[in-house]
Amino acid sequence: MRTLTGIQPSGTLHIGNYFGAMRPAIDAQSRGECFYFIADYHSMTSLFDPAERRKHTLGVALDWLACGLDPKHSVFWRQSDVPGVVELSWLLGTLTPMGLLERAHSYKDKTGKGFSPNFGLFAYPVLMAADILLYDTERVPVGRDQKQHLEMTRDIAIKFNLAYGETFVVPESEIREDLAVIPGLDGQKMSKSYGNTIDIFGEEKATRKKIMGIVMDSRTPAEPKPDADKNLAIQLLKLFAAADVAVDFENRLRAGGLGYGDLKKALFEHYWNYFAAARARRAELAANLDHVEAVLRDGAGRAHAVARVVLKRARRACGIE
């Protein structure tokens, strides 16, 4: 079973990225072959600063490796180091109906927010289909917001197979319903673009301040809170604390007597400890960037070896070879 997923280097990674995409991807390493990449071409649809792109590409590489991506087991590379993906995206694009792309939520969301669209943004799902199909991917772990993109990938693969004969593996998405949408500091979906994130490797003081600043209601600590399970800090605590610990906090909040300040303090402590080992690994990696670069270069070589074969198959199928 081959698992593949990508993350754009368009900002600093947050715990929504971690629980929605990275954790399932890291867990999948014990179940089969894994292909993980940094989607730098995709980041070009919304980020136009080369220095920022370089910085975030390195940051994402460090984050993945620190969080447990094992480069001996998994193939880990920069998307643009295998440029054949752009060629495949052209082959797929010629079979992709405009209507399919016009219905894309991500495109409609961005244009709806006043973002002036470029061709790359419109074609984003086609490049994503190329990412997935180029490596004969069977399973793609992502958050729920990517579900439609995965459906498009399947549609495009099926269309190509019908038009030109069996060429591509039709992939399945793996969406964890329990972790599917991690809420942000304001209760909305956590997202880089909403400014409501808790970063995986946030700086201590700043992150404590963010967590302590979560807005709660005005009930006194003594008041019982029958809706304790809906409390944002409780929901986040469940991600970081052992199940019995989180349930204990929830029960204390429900019964009355636990103040919001103490709850938020506990949330920060559990968050901080949860990533302690990874934080130490990240510091080591950051002091050894040659090693990180070598990991990515080796990954690109291994990714390219698979991509070559699949691209040849696709070129032959459609008659340009």
Which residues would be at the binding site for ligand ADP (CB under 6 A)? Answer: 7-8, 16-17, 20-21, 142-143, 145-146, 180-182, 189-193
Beta carbon of residue 185, minimum distance to ligand ADP (angstroms, whole number): 11
CA angle 34, 35, 41 (to 5 degrees): 160
Q: Which range binds ligand TRP by CB under 6 A, 89-97, 139-147, 199-207, 290-298?
A: 139-147
Q: Tell me the backbone φ, ψ of residue 7, rounded to 5 degrees.
A: -130, 135
d(CA 157, CA 169): 7
Show which residues are catalytic.
110, 189, 192
Residue 84 Cα distances to 76, 91, 119, 225, 300, angstroms? 16, 11, 19, 56, 12
Beta carbon of residue 70, minimum distance to ligand TRP (angstroms, whole number): 19
Beta carbon of residue 320, minimum distance to ligand ADP (angstroms, whole number): 32
175 binds, among ligand TRP, ligand ADP, none (CB under 5 to 8 A by kind): none
Beta carbon of residue 173, minimum distance to ligand TRP (angstroms, whole number): 9
- The amino acid sitting at 291 is H
SS3 string of 97-142? CHHHHHCCHHHHHHHHCCCCCCHHHHHHHHHHHHHHHCCCCCEEEC
| Length of the chain in terms of residues written | 321
152 binds ligand TRP (CB under 6 A): no
Residue (188 or 288) nearer to ligand ADP, CB = 188
Q: Which range binds ligand TRP by CB under 6 A, 2-10, 96-104, 233-241, 293-301?
A: 2-10
CA angle 149, 152, 154 (to 5 degrees): 115
Residues that bind ligand TRP (CB under 6 A): 4-8, 39, 42, 128, 131-132, 140, 142, 146, 149
